[in-house]
Amino acid sequence: MWRGRAIPSVVAMTNHPQTYPARPGPSGPRPPIAWPLVFGLASLTLLWPLTSVTGLADAIGNPARALLLIAGIGGAWIGVVGLGHVARPIATVTLTGLVAGVITLAASVVVTGLGAESGGMSGAPAFAVPLVAAEMIGSQTLLGFLAGLVAAGVQRLRGTTTQHGGSR
């Protein structure tokens, strides 16, 4: 058994509100999302079908293509938002990922068609098309969220903006 100083109770800890400073709230309305930036960054996802249509994917191989494109597109998202003075970096890049997922889905349907009979959507059977679409959009949104966290970290390290867009 441990025989030392008594551990203070939770009640005793909550009776001292001055112990921890209150978190500052937003100083006003949040700045709007930069929608042209969201759509511009999301359009970089068109590099994926472009490499397939031009034959570059066959030339360098699918694993190398995936690594290069994911690193390049993610790096561009993080670089532009993290090094720029973009307000609300996490929301901006998460929405960029969402829009990129929709663009990827639309490009997949346009380039390869829908359903297994046309080889589209990775040859998914017709009943699985909604699941494949949700996976495409969801994975891009998740990657956008993760890139947004990194971009917000870059902004914080640089001291350029806060999550609400105010200067430090």
Q: 92 and 147 in contact (C-beta within 8 Å)? A: no
Q: What is the pLDDT of residue 6?
A: 57
Note whether residue 2 is domain-resident.
Answer: no
Note whether residue 152 is domain-resident.
Answer: yes
Note whether residue 106 is domain-resident.
Answer: yes
Encode pLDDT of 30-83 as tens digits. 889 999 999 999 999 999 888 888 888 889 998 999 999 999 999 999 999 999
Q: 91 and 163 in contact (C-beta within 8 Å)? A: no
Q: What is the pLDDT of residue 134?
A: 93
Enclosing domain of residue 123: 31-158
Q: 85 and 160 in contact (C-beta within 8 Å)? A: yes
Our count of domains for the chain comes to: 1
Encode pLDDT of 98-112 as tens digits. 999 999 989 888 877
Q: For residue 93, what are the CA distances in angstroms to 85, 132, 139?
A: 13, 22, 13
> Taking the mean position of all CA atoms in its chain, how far away is CA 79?
13
Note whether residue 9 is domain-resident.
Answer: no
Q: What is the pLDDT of residue 146?
A: 97
